[in-house]
Every structure is written in C-alpha cells, then in structure tokens.
Amino acid sequence: MQALSRSFSWDFSLQLKSLLSPYRAGNTTPSLSQLPMVQLTATPASALADEPVHIRVTGLRPLQMVTLMASLKDEKGNVFWSRAFYKANEVGELDLMQTPAFGGDYVGVHPMGLFWSLKPKKAFQRLLKKDVMNSPFWITLNLYDSVCFEDVITDQVMASQVVQRWFSGPGLQRVQIREGRVRGALFLPPGEGPFPGVIDLFGGRGGLVEFRASLLAARGFAVLALAYFAYEDLPSDLLEIDLEYFEEAANLLLAHPKVQTPGIGVISVSKGAEIGLAMACFLKQVVATIWINGTNAIFEFPLRYKDMVITPIPTFVERMQLDISGAMRLRHYKGDPWDELNQQSVLPIEKALGSILFIVGENDECMNSKEYAEQALHQLRSHGRNNGRMLLYPGAGHLIEPPYSPLCYASPNKNFSLPLLWGGDPAAHAAAQEHSWGEILKFFRQHLTQTRSKL
Amino acid sequence: MMIQLTATPTSALIDEPVHIRATGLPPFQIVVLQATLKDEMGNLFHSHAYYKANEVGEVDLERAPSLGGDYVGVHPMGLFWSLKPENILTKLLKRDVMSSPFLVQIKLYDSNLPLIHIPTTAPKVSLTLERWYTAPGTKRIQVREGHIRGTLFLPPGEGRFPGVIDLFAGVGGLIESRASLLASHGFATLALAYCDYEDLPSQPEKTDLEYFEEAVNFLLRHPKVLGPGVGIVSISKGAEIGLSMAIHLKQVTATVLINGPNFVIRIPQVYRGQISQPLPFSPQLLSINALGLAEFQHNFEEARNEANENFLLPIEKAQGHFLFIVGEDDKNLNSKAYAKQATEQLRRNGKNNWTLLSYPGAGHLLEAPYSPLCCASKISSLHLFIHWGGEVTPHAIAQEHSWKEIKKFLRKHLLPVVTSQL
C-alpha cells in the first residue's frame, strides 16, 4: 500500500536530496572568516506597507546559490511565507533591484517579490491587518546557503533581517465613528488640515476593513472606513442598499472641521464599488469615485434612495463553477446588464456629476468587471459625458489592493459554503497593485484638492 | 410524472462512455446532478453539474449543456472526469483491478439546494454504476521469472495476442490499471515494475536496460503472445526507459511515449557496458505557483541549453514506430519541448516513423479516459507538493482522444497486416 501511494512520486524520492549535494559541497563547512561577512540589508527596515524595500546581500561567495525567504505571522497566528532562489554575482553580491530570481515563488527581477508572493501555509487564508494603528506586520527575511525548495527547511540561516510594515504613520489619528446610523473609523492625517475627504468601502465580506483607509490617510486624505453590514449594531446580513445611510456618512465626513468641502471622494471595491457607483450617480457630495472590480448595475438585493427603488438583476446559482482547488468561481453567476429586461437595474451613470476611475483586473474570477466597466463607459459616451476612465490590468484578479499585498488565491465568505476564487496571476497582479495605487493617489489629488496646484 | 434517472450501460469498463438521462422533471427546471465515488482507501470523490430540463422535462447528457458546477458545456462523461477528491492531493487509483469495480453513484437534486447540504439530503432519484478495470475473462498472472517482476494480463479468449509492456512513472510499486485495460482490449500486457517492488531495489543507482530486454524476451516467449515484435506504453520516467528500449531492442516495434524526456533523468542508464549519463538538474529553476505547488518543468533548461547532443537519446537508431503524446500544460516535465526536439532529431535523420499528438490544456498525468484529473501530489519523503498541471476539461478531452489513438497505433504496428484495417 505504501508503494502504491508513492507510485506517482517519480523522480522526487529521497534520491533527489543527493542531487543537491553538488550545490552543497562547498557550503557545508564555511570557514570562520566567511560567516560574519555575509550581510543582509533591507532598507527601510520600518516603513509604510505601500513603500518599497531595497534588499541587498553582500559577502557571499562568487556565484553562490542562495534562498531568500520571507515569513510573516498574522494577528490570527496564520503563517504566510515566500521564497526565491538567487545567484550572487562575481563579487558575491545580490541586489534585488537588479538580480533576477531563478525560481521559487517568482522569477525574474522583482524587488518586492518576496512580499507580494507571500502564501498562507493553511489554504485559502487572506492576509488582512486588523489593528492598523498600534502594530505593524513583522516580516522576517532569512537567507539560506542553498536552494531550499522543501516545505521544511533544515538548513541553517546564514543571515536574517526583520522588516516592519506599517499601515499608519506618525501623527495619524483614528477616530471610532458611532454617530447617527454611521459606523466606521475615521483616519485623520497629522496637522490642522483641512484634508480632502474620502469614504472607503469594501465588499461582501462585511465588517470593517481599515488598512486601505489608514494608508490613504498616511498619504494626506481624511478617510472614513465605512461599514455597512455585519459590524456592531448594523444589520448582520446585507438585504438591501439604503443609499441614505451612505449619504449620512458623506455629510458626516463633510461636516468634520478637518475635512475639505464641498465634495468628497469614494474608493470602493467589489460590492462596495456597486455602492460607490450608486453614490456617484445620486449624491452630489461625491465628486471623485474610484471603482475597483465592481458592477454597473444593482444585483442580488434592491437599492433604495428616498422614494426610488432599483430592483436587482437576478443571480443564477447554476452558473457557479468549481475550480480545481475546490474554490467557487462566481464570474458567470450574475445576470446580464446588457439584457433589455434588466435595464431598470442599470445605474444611471450619466447622472454622476463627478469623475469616475474604473480599475479593472482582467483576470477577475469573481465578476465580469471588465464588461461592467465597459458598459458604464459606453453609457457615459452615449450621453455625451467624458467624466469616466478605465485602467485595465491584464493578469490582475479581483482583489486589487495597495502595493505589495500578497495575492489571495481564494478565501472563505460567510454567504457561501466554499471559498471564493478571486483570480489573478501573481506577478501581473502585483504590478497592477503598484501601478493603480499611484493612479489612485493622483486621481484623488487631482479631483479633490482645490487650493493646491496639481503638482 | 415520476422522475427517472437512467444510465446505460450500468456496468462497463472504465473507458467506456455512459449515457445518462433524466426524465419526468418539470419543464425547464434546473437540477443538480452529483456523482460520488469512494475509493478502496475510503477517500471520497465528488462532482456536480447543473442542467436545465427541456420543454418535455428531460435532461439528456449527450445533448444538454451543463450550466455550471465542475464543468460547463455538453460533456456526456463530465461527471466522471471532473470528480474531485475531498483532499486536493488524492489521486484516484484502483489497487484491485480484477475482482471489484469502482462504484459511482449518480444522484439528482433540486438546484436550489445549497451544495453543502447535499451530503445530508436524500436525492430525488439516484442510481449506482459499476466501472471495471478488466473485461470478463481477462486473466491476471503474477510474474516472478528471472529478474522480472510484474503482472501479466491476458485478454479473454483463445489464440495469441499482441504483446505490450506497460511502464509507469516512478519510484516504486506497480500500477496495473492501464495494463488491465489494454488486456481488456486485446493486448497481452505486462505491467512491469522496475524499482521498489518485491525484491527489486528500492532506490536503484542505475537503470539496467538488460532487465527490460529480459522482459521483452519473456513476453515474446509466452505461448499466448503474438510476435515478432512487442509494443510499449510508457509515461514520464517510464517513457525515458521506453524510448531507450526502442533504441536498443529491435524487437520493440511500437512505442507510445507519454510526457517523457528525450534524455536520461536522475540515474545513469547502462546497456551491455555502455553508460548514458543523466542530464544535470538545476534545483534553483523550480517554480512555485499561486497555490503553493511546486512546478519542475524548467529544472532541466539550464543543462539543455548548455549540453551537447551526446546527452540526447539517439532516437534515430530505433527501428520501430513512435507515438508521442504531449500534455502542453505539463508542469512537471517540459514534455512539449522534449517531444519537439526528439521528432526534429528523427526528421534530420530522414526518419518518418513517428506521430506527435500535442494536447493544449492537458497535464502530465494523462491516463485512461474519464479518469479524474489529479492536479498535485504530496511526496512523503520530500516536504513538497508537486503540480502535475492540466485544466480539467481539456485534460479529459486529451485522455479520451489519446486512448483511442494509442489502441489504433498498437493494433496498426503489432497486428499482422492482413488482419489490420486500412
């Protein structure tokens, strides 16, 4: 029985370890003069999570093969890790800004590859910082003297460095919001202000996700991370979108002494982007909207705003697909907003007064983001409007987040019995996150900052 | 009207298609069909597909498209080849190929039932199918002759049958499932073990082709085997050996090479004093995919680029015919590149004794039709999960097509001309 269970272990038996011996021959007995010379530096060692880190290694033997590994334990104790195999140059140095990885979790020159290719040891975990104010993520960088591709590393660490990744900066203030119906957390940059105001909306996981709001605040915006269900005394399930709740939040933000008037921005992803687009259409307070991988119509449950009710386009449970990993692909699940029977559910985007930036991951496995964005832009053009623009990222998936966030393959969602597949090719997704973040900051600075020049 | 589920035939070889139909449903109702299998170790496999009944309340899997689930589109055998284990790393493997079939249950449910409730809910209707690895009358003979270790499967009936040697990948054990199926289709097939089986060495330091020559001669000597040549069906590391056998042994007249290398891997080959060295392996070229699975298909690239032609197996010296079967999405070996190089070598030497079948979307482990895709395996001795590659639907299509081609190829080159079809 044991033999049968190993019958497909072709080529990767115990004998493989002996294949590695040529690579270890010179490495097993390092001379005393060799060891202290190896240095691993990561600069800056402590920084905001959206800042790049420059990793270098010196003091290696010329052309030495090494493994660089990153590991992190999140606040729930889940371990995430990544590794890449590098070859030192003729003077025994590695510079991740120049040196390509041969293999591992990524290939080629990727200075931040160890960060965005972090993977959970336990399948389907998503890396999300809960406490954004008081602690960073600590990422341990370890250097090993050979190509370590097994899950258990028996080699000794040659050099090690810990980097801190913070989601807030010095002087940033977090204010818990419980006013009227509004629930969330307001992040205020240091200083008198006033600062451009932004509402940050996440998607169907509910609760309150703060890390993007706090990072935006660290970049000079007054950001309200707004919860809308499954948080404190808000409804535990999302059964309808009451746009007056979001208007109340917008007005609350605008009323704050440190927030600029008369208009705010919205940054929104997934189900949150459906809401964000509705806010853009109906609330004049919203002058700049970022829509990430959302919809252009109302789905699943109705939207209400004062007397108006927009009924949803139905979803089709039979169109759910299962991925080889067992995760659920919902991409084809929703009804068609182009269908003439569904037109009353399509958001009247031509009514939006402000500017809209559509950020789309072409490999989104959760929804047909590209089609929704294209239909929305088509609708704008057909009404003679040009206040919408799309950034389309090939290879990027659903969860486009701030730079260097690891790609999450799939993760559980309380509304479904199986994890949801998000999609995305790791390297392309990472590039999309890096590029789109710059565009997000530029967009908000351009459309929200009135008194400063455009630089 | 009563809901009915029919499947024909209810008992068949695992490579035979089944026609599944449901009748008596409300018109246009959406239903979920589920298939369940429990292997000999108790591992559970499931698949699901959503279908819409037509205007007379019927679902015919030969015509109706699946709308979602584990596959989409018209795939009459989709429920079988999209079976997924509860643990992603489990491979479906039949140990006892003779005395018992796999039992596959097909169940029908309303589509509004959440998938998670299916295991605890009674289906509207269900049936059980038997999937066998041997046709009635097939004989299984343990082989322990000289150095040879393996199992010989003889087709039912009188007379002599073309002989085939079946070589699996691998380090260890003996897989009989393909050999027993080939025998059920009229080939006297020897499933040949070559390491870690009975008294064979558990970790051989070299591959001795004389062992395989002994097996060829054993097969040709057998009273039920029709000569003068034998065939080989081989995969992965087994295909390295199959290719070498074809090169050195003139009795090998038809060789099927599935996702194999055109060079020696890992341990040297010897044949009558001649040694062929393995191509060096570069561990640093390993890739880890988004799910954390290890992909080895680039690990020979550095050596291939730097190596001279001496490392390539001299395929032009083989006298028989070749059928190359390549899964283009193979994540374990760069099969497409190796087959291309081998066939180019044949062309350069003026040979046209080969056919190459290349399947987009198919992975490393190409097996009998309707076998579920095993996408990754854990290797117990290494702390590692190996990605074999392949996308479920294209891989299934490749298995179905290549199996027919394999049988056609073996018949063409092993049966006497007067009885083969033109």
Q: Is the CB of residue B392 less than 8 Å from the CB of residue B85?
A: no
* B305 lies within 8 A of chain A by CB: no
Among B50, B290, B373, the residue with its CB nearest the CB of A426 is B290
- The Cα-based distances of B108 to B34, B112, B117 in angstroms read 6, 12, 13
Do B116 and B146 contact (CB within 8 A), yes or no? no
Q: Rounded to a whole number, what is the distance in angstroms from the first to the last CA of chain A? A: 70
Is A270 among the residues known to form the active site? yes
| A122–B contact, CB cutoff 8 A | no
Check residue B270 and give its pLDDT: 97
Mean pLDDT in residue range B219-228: 96
Q: ipTM of this complex > 0.85?
A: yes
Q: Which tokens go with A314?
A: 């139905």
C-alpha distances (whole Å) from A395 to each of A352, A364, A365, A434 are: 30, 8, 11, 13
Q: How far is CA A170 from CA A117, A177, A216, B17, B101, in A?
A: 28, 21, 14, 67, 68
Nearest chain B residue to A81 by CA: give it. B292
Q: Which residues pair with A24 in a beta bridge?
A: none
State whether residue A415 sits within 8 Å of chain B by CB. no
| Beta strands in B216-360, from DSSP E residues, in sequence order | 225-235, 252-258, 269-271, 274-276, 287-288, 294-295, 321-327, 354-359
Strand partners, A57: A40, A94
Query: Which entry of A110, A256, A398, A429 is annotated as an active-site residue?
Result: A398
Q: Is B69 on the interface with A (CB under 8 A)?
A: yes
Structure confidence at residue A36 (pLDDT): 58
CA B130/CA B103 separation, integer angstroms? 5
Tokens 């030495």, residue located:
A64
Report pTM: 0.91
Judging contacts by C-beta atoms under 8 Å, the chain A residues touching residue B68 are 316-321, 332
What is the model's pLDDT at position A452? 44
Position A7 scores a pLDDT of: 35
CB contact under 8 A, A23 and B283: yes
Q: Check residue B172 and give its pLDDT.
A: 75
Cα gap A307→A309, rounded to integer Å: 7
Whether the CB of B383 is below 8 Å from some CB of chain A: the reply is yes
Mean pLDDT over B189-196 rounds to 94
User: What sign results for the dihedral spanned by CA atoms B220, B224, B226, B231?
Assistant: negative
CB contact under 8 A, A11 and B88: no
Which residues are registered as beta bridge partners of B269? B207, B276
Minimal-distance CA residue of chain B relative to A321: B69
Cα distance between residue B292 and residue A11, in whole Å: 19
Tell me which chain A residues have a C-beta less than 8 angstroms from the C-beta of B203.
13-15
CB of A1 less than 8 A from some CB of B: yes
Query: pLDDT exceeding 70 applies to what percent of chain B?
Result: 98
CA angle A39, A41, A44 (to 5 degrees): 165
B351 touching A (Cβ < 8 Å): no
pLDDT band at B171 (very low <50, low <70, confident <90, very high): low
Phi then psi dihedrals of residue A228, to 5 deg:
-135, -10
Q: Does A23 touch chain B (CB under 8 A)?
A: yes
Is A378 a residue of the active site?
no
**Which of A134, A146, A414, A408 lies closest to A271, judged by CA?**
A414
- Catalytic-role residue among A146, A168, A364, A411: A364
CB A64 within 8 A of CB A138: no
Q: Does A167 touch chain B (CB under 8 A)?
A: no
Task: Count other Cβ atoms within 10 Å, centred on residue B309.
Answer: 7
List the single residue in B50, B196, B265 with the smallest CB-CB distance to A11. B265
pLDDT tens figures, B395-407? 999 999 999 999 9
CA-nearest of B324, B372, B203, B68 to A6 is B203
Pairwise CB contact (< 8 Å): B284 & A20:
no
Q: Specify the 3-state DSSP secondary structure of A38.
A: coil
List the catalytic residue out of A270, A345, A411, A436: A270
Q: For residue A152, give the chain B residue with the closest CA.
A: B383
Q: Which of A169, A141, A129, A213 is nearest to A47 (CA)?
A: A169
Answer for the pair A205, A179: CB distance below 8 angstroms, yes or no.
no
Residue B418, pLDDT score: 64
Q: Which amino acid is at B394?
A: P
DSSP conformation class of B245: H
pLDDT digits (tens, 9 = 90+) for B144-170: 999 999 999 999 999 999 999 999 976
Maximum CA extent, chain B: 75
From A66's Cα to the closest Cα of chain B, the distance in A is 9
What is the pLDDT, as a whole number, of residue B310? 83
Whole-number pLDDT of residue B241? 97
- For residue A387, give the DSSP letter: -
Q: State the Cα–Cα distance between residues B303 and B261, nearest whole angstrom.
A: 13
What is the tens place of the pLDDT at every residue in B26-67? 999 999 999 999 999 999 999 999 999 999 999 999 999 999
Give A426→chain B minimum CA distance, Å.
7
pLDDT of residue A26: 40
Angle at A159 between CA A153 and CA A165, to 5 degrees: 90
% chain B with pLDDT above 90? 86
β-pair type (B148-154, B68-69): unpaired
Shortest CA gap B298–chain A (Å):
9
The β-bridge relationship of strands A46-48 and A157-166 is parallel
Name the 3-class secondary structure at A421. strand
**Are A349 and A280 contacting, i.e. CB atoms less than 8 angstroms apart?**
yes
User: How would residue B351 be classed by pLDDT, with cut points 50, 70 and 90?
Assistant: very high
Q: What string of pLDDT tens digits covers the 455 residues of chain A?
A: 333 333 333 444 434 444 444 343 344 444 544 455 899 999 999 999 999 999 999 999 999 999 999 999 999 999 999 999 999 999 999 999 999 999 999 999 999 999 999 999 999 999 999 999 999 999 999 999 999 988 778 889 999 999 999 999 999 999 999 999 999 999 999 999 899 999 999 999 999 999 999 999 999 999 999 999 999 999 999 999 999 999 999 999 999 999 999 999 999 999 999 999 999 999 999 999 999 999 999 999 999 999 999 999 999 999 999 999 999 999 999 999 999 999 999 999 999 999 999 999 999 999 999 999 999 999 999 999 999 999 999 999 999 999 999 999 999 998 888 999 999 999 999 999 999 999 999 999 999 976 544 44
In this structure, what token pair is assigned to residue A28?
């097993």
